[in-house]
Amino acid sequence: MSELTYAGKTFVFRVDNGVVFRNTYAADGTTLRYETVDGPTEGSAETVTLHTSEVAPGLFMLGWAERSGMTVTHLMNLSALTVHAFWTYETGDGRVAEIHTGTLEPA
């Protein structure tokens, strides 16, 4: 794998549903500290272990599981500064899956 160009960087991730995250990647690219800065879960934060793959130059697939049981996958395009996201979470009516898009801004 080539250099993990997101490693050691922080991005503001603006999701199409209005939620905004501040994502800080560890220098070695193996963990992510996310903080919700706007949206229904504003103020929440967690450090998660990343599973990553570079699928093309500057295009990374990142996945993780959160303490809540939510699973998240990002297809992060660092050339276009965009993200396609897929996540699942449990509700009282069963598991829900959502697909979203968003933009990245270096912070």
pTM of the predicted protein model: 0.93
Asked if CATH classification 2.60.40.1510 holds for the domain at 10-106, the reply, yes or no, is no
Q: Which residues pair with 15 in a beta bridge?
A: 102
Return the pLDDT at 1.
Answer: 47
Return the pLDDT at 26.
Answer: 97
Per-residue pLDDT of the chain (107 residues; tens, 9 = 90+): 457 899 999 999 999 999 999 999 999 999 999 999 999 999 999 999 999 999 999 999 999 999 999 999 999 999 999 999 999 999 999 999 999 999 999 99
Closest by CA to 31, choosing from 61, 8, 2, 59, is 8
State residue 30 phi and psi, 5-degree precision. -95, -15
Closest by CA to 85, choosing from 62, 53, 59, is 62
Return the pLDDT at 3.
Answer: 79
State residue 14 phi and psi, 5-degree precision. -100, 115
98 three-state secondary structure: strand
